[in-house]
Every structure is written in structure tokens, then in C-alpha cells.
Amino acid sequence: MRIGSYELPDELLYNKDHSWVRLEGDTATLGVTSVAAGMAQEFVFVQLPKKGDQIKKGDTYISLEAVKWSGHLASPLSGQVVDVNEAIFNNPGEINKRPYESWLIKLKLTNPDEKNELLKPEQLKDWVGEITKGK
């Protein structure tokens, strides 16, 4: 689904902390939305958890620095980190160029019911319009 100049693929789920989620069984792949990537301009630094780390929903799972923004994103789900996209460390700008191919981490879910709280693109339409107004 396109919302303004931002793409939110229909096959993914989202939270309002700018993360996208691809669910595959009891594993979730997480990344940064095109909305965050576009608003931040170019990411220059990324810090990710390590394989084996336990993350709870709402905990910081990524720290980012960009040309126009720096901050942290809260994990949309709880789980154990089973994979980390090491290539992003050397080239965080890939998140801006290809936000939906540039995944960050994979989690083995520890509380699968949390996925019911994730949002579909159409549920984000008004919110994305509001936060990107004038941008």
C-alpha cells in the first residue's frame, strides 16, 4: 500500500515505532519502515543486539544515527535473537535505499500472541499521513 510517497508492503505487519515485521512460523524478521528511512534521510550508524540476546516487546532493539535523526526503536515482539544482518553494520545506508530488503534481526518468538497487536498498512494510513505532513 502506498501512503503519500511511502510504501508499506501489504504482506508485512507494522508497529507505530517504525518497525516492519515478516512472520514465518514462530520466527519474525524485523526491519525499519520506508517512512522512518525517508524521514531520517540517510542512516550512518546502526547498533543491533547480538545473536542469543533476549528481547521483550517494548525494549530497544536498535539504535540508529542518521543525517536528520538519531534514536532507538522499540521491539514490536518478544523473542530470542536468532540472526543478525551483519551487512547493515558496514552499510547502514542500505536501510534507506531498500528498507524492506534490509532486514535487521530475526527473533524466535517467546510470546506469539503479541503478533495480534501488530498493524496492517491500512491501519496506519491516518497515522502516517499525520506524522509526514509537510515532509
Domains of the chain: 2-109 (2.40.50.100)
Beta bridge mates, 45: 65
Share of the chain above pLDDT 90, in %: 68
- How confident is the model over 21-32, as a mean pLDDT? 97
- Grid look-up 526491519 returns 31
Only one residue has cell 496506519, namely 124
Q: Is the pLDDT of residue 131 over 80?
A: no
Mapping DSSP onto H, E and C, the string for the chain reads CEECCEECCCCCEECCCCEEEEEECCEEEEEECHHHHHHHCCEEEEECCCCCCEECCCCEEEEEEECCCEEEEECCCCEEEEEECCHHHHCCCHHHHCCCCCCCEEEEECCHHHHHHCECHHHHHHHHHHHCCCC
Find all residues with CB under 8 Å of 25, minimum gap 6, and list them.
none
Over range 4-20, report the average pLDDT.
Answer: 88
**CB neighbour class for 9 (10 Å; exposed up to 12, middle 13-18, buried from 19):** middle
Q: Is the Cβ–Cβ distance between 48 and 105 less than 8 Å?
A: yes
Per-residue pLDDT at 134: 54
